[in-house]
Amino acid sequence: MTTAVAEDSIQRVSIYVVRTGTIEQVEKIIRTDDEWRRLLSSEVFRVARKKGTEAPFTGAYHDCKEPGIYRCACCGTDLFSSDTKFDSGTGWPSFRAPVAEENLSTSIDYELGYPRTEVLCRRCDAHLGHVFDDGPPPTYKRYCMNSAALRLARPAE
């Protein structure tokens, strides 16, 4: 038996796509923990789906200087360009700005007993890290991300 899904019940989000330079309407990805667990490595699941944090200076991208676009490890959404990456000295990959505000959402996180701004992928709600107001000019933002929540797409990819 086939069940039809009403077109108006599908959630859509606007996402900026670096390759085309356009904003596209895409389906929001909603999965259960069991579905994500089957699709992701245990570390990516722990960090991106369960709001974990990798230890500083251990992630694959904390000192990566290769060019490319950092994408969501869960859904592939374009998130950050290597052009905005900087060494914050924290041990986590840090960026001045996302490729587009449309690709991120934020939430206030009180996990440490005080408010921090959590950064999420707008398409799949993956936990990426946090944003702080102590970054370099011109944005003065520091998007402090977990390497486990990112995948670097190099220019030829």
Residue 24 lies in a domain: yes
Q: Is 144 a catalytic residue?
A: yes
Residue 75 lies in a domain: yes
Residue 47 lies in a domain: yes
Instruction: With cut-offs at 50, 70 and 90, classify the pLDDT of residue 2.
Output: very low
Q: How many domains does the chain have?
A: 1
Residue 62 lies in a domain: yes
What's the farthest any 2 CA atoms get from each other in the chain? 57
Residue 28 lies in a domain: yes
Residue 41 lies in a domain: yes
Angle at 125 between CA 90 and CA 65, to 5 degrees: 35
- Alpha helices per DSSP H over the chain: 33-39, 42-44
Residue 2 lies in a domain: no
pTM for the predicted model, two decimal places:
0.91
Question: What residue numbers bound the domain in which 73 lies?
Answer: 11-153
Q: How far is CA 129 from CA 34, 107, 109, 132, in A?
A: 22, 11, 11, 10
**CATH code assigned at 54:** 2.170.150.20
Residue 110 lies in a domain: yes
Residue with structure tokens 């052009």?
83
Report d(CA 47, CA 157) in Å as an integer. 25
pLDDT in tens, 71-124: 999 999 999 999 999 999 999 999 999 999 999 999 998 888 889 999 999 999
Model confidence at 5: pLDDT above 60: no
